């Protein structure tokens, strides 16, 4: 247990894990899912198992990680992947906090799956990727049942989001602030975590209407080192200090490197503590200073 570290508790809110079997049969899965083919077709695109993750966490002094699989289009693949995350939660209790992956456009089977995963201890749903999974956030019939289920269970949804400008990259998608903002306004009862700083929605919180609408919105920092320069940390703290969650997008970026960048971003110790674990602790309902 590493909990007695300098920030009470360090939680990475955004990591992707894969079962060894998918890593070994990568070629086959590249054919089975178009979006997976786009993101992982490059043999240098890293994939990690639960053991890899724990090793990286131990090296960097990270206490716990929110971990999920890949946003497959086929719910059967999501289920298989969820099983791996559930097993990892049992192997590493308290260190791996699972989120369930589903394709909400596949109706009843998606709700049954999130129910199963929540009953087995998962703490949320995500990282959904509407572009890859073949639906839009605006589709009521797809999103409403899941969003209401999440609100009832008081569990958060983590969705991919991206910048409408800047460089192109595989998996960027079209979940840009305009679309995501409409989605948020539609489901005020559900806690939503926007990956990758919400594609920049955060900055519109300078507008009071947007700030009000985003009261239940959290932002994770996943992949930030590839997207923004490090001034974003101090800017973000002035806008939404209590709703920023440190997330790496591991194994895309390793823990050690990302931690050092946050620590040298010129933030106050209190802000660093919130970003690296305090906010996540509160959101996940873990008691402060206690390992999950
Ligand atoms: Zn993402």
- What residues does each domain of the chain span? 11-284
Residue 154 near residue 187, CB atoms below 8 Å: no
Distance, in Å, from the CA atom of 54 to the CA atom of 52, rounded to the nearest integer, reads 6
Tens of pLDDT, residue by residue over 61-119, are: 999 999 999 999 999 999 999 999 999 999 999 999 999 999 999 989 999 999 999 99
State how far the Cα of 238 lies from the Cα of 244, in Å rounded to an integer.
11
Assign domain 11-284 to its CATH architecture. Answer: Alpha-Beta Barrel (3.20)
Quote the crossing angle between the two packed helices 50-60 and 75-91, to the nearest 10°.
Answer: 50
Three-class SS of residue 159?
strand
What the block records as the tokens of 164 is 């409408």
CA 247 to centroid of ligand 1, rounded, Å: 10
The model's pLDDT over 120-129, given as tens digits with 9 standing for 90+, comes to 999 999 999 9
Q: Which residue has the higher pLDDT, 86 or 165?
A: 86
The pTM score is 0.94
Whole-angstrom distance, CA of residue 1 vs CA of residue 146: 35
How far away, in angstroms, is 177 Cα from ligand 1 center? 14
- For residues 118 and 2, which has the higher predicted lDDT (pLDDT)? 118
User: How many whole angstroms from 241 Cα to the centroid of ligand 1?
Assistant: 21
Angle 142-148-151 (CA atoms, 0-180°, nearest 5)?
Answer: 140
Distance of CA 4 from the midpoint of ligand 1 (Å): 30
pLDDT: is 292 or 139 the higher one? Answer: 139
Strands (E), 30-179: 64-68, 96-98, 125-128, 157-159
Q: Cβ(237)–Cβ(279) under 8 Å?
A: no
- 90 alpha carbon – ligand 1 mean position (Å): 25
């Amino acid at each position: 247990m590493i909990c007695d570290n300098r920030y009470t508790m360090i939680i990475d809110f955004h990591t992707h894990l894969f079962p060894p079997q998918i890593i070994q049969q990568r070629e086959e899965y590249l054919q089975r899912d178009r979006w997976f083919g786009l993101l992982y077709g490059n043999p240098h695109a890293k994939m990690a198992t639960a053991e890899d993750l724990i090793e990286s966490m131990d090296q960097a002094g990270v206490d716990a990680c929110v971990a999920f699989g890949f946003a497959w289009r086929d719910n059967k693949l999501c289920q298989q992947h969820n099983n791996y995350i559930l097993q990892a939660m049992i192997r590493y209790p308290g260190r791996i906090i699972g989120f369930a992956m589903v394709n909400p456009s596949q109706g009843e089977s998606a709700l049954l799956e999130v129910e199963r995963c929540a009953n087995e201890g998962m703490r949320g749903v995500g990282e959904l990727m509407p572009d890859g999974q073949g639906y839009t956030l605006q589709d009521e019939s797809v999103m409403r049942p899941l969003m209401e289920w999440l609100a009832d269970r008081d569990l958060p949804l983590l969705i991919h989001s991206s910048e409408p400008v800047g460089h192109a990259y595989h998996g960027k998608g079209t979940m840009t602030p305009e679309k995501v903002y409409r989605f948020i306004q539609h489901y005020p009862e559900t806690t939503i975590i926007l990956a990758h700083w919400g594609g920049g929605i955060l900055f519109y919180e300078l507008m009071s209407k947007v700030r009000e609408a985003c009261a239940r919105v959290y932002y994770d920092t996943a992949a930030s080192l590839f997207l923004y320069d490090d001034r974003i940390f101090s800017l973000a703290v002035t806008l939404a200090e209590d709703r920023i969650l440190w997330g790496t997008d591991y194994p895309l970026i390793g823990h050690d490197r990302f931690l050092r960048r946050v620590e040298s971003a010129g933030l106050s110790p209190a802000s660093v503590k919130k970003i690296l674990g305090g906010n996540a602790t509160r959101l996940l309902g873990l008691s402060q200073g206690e390992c999950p």
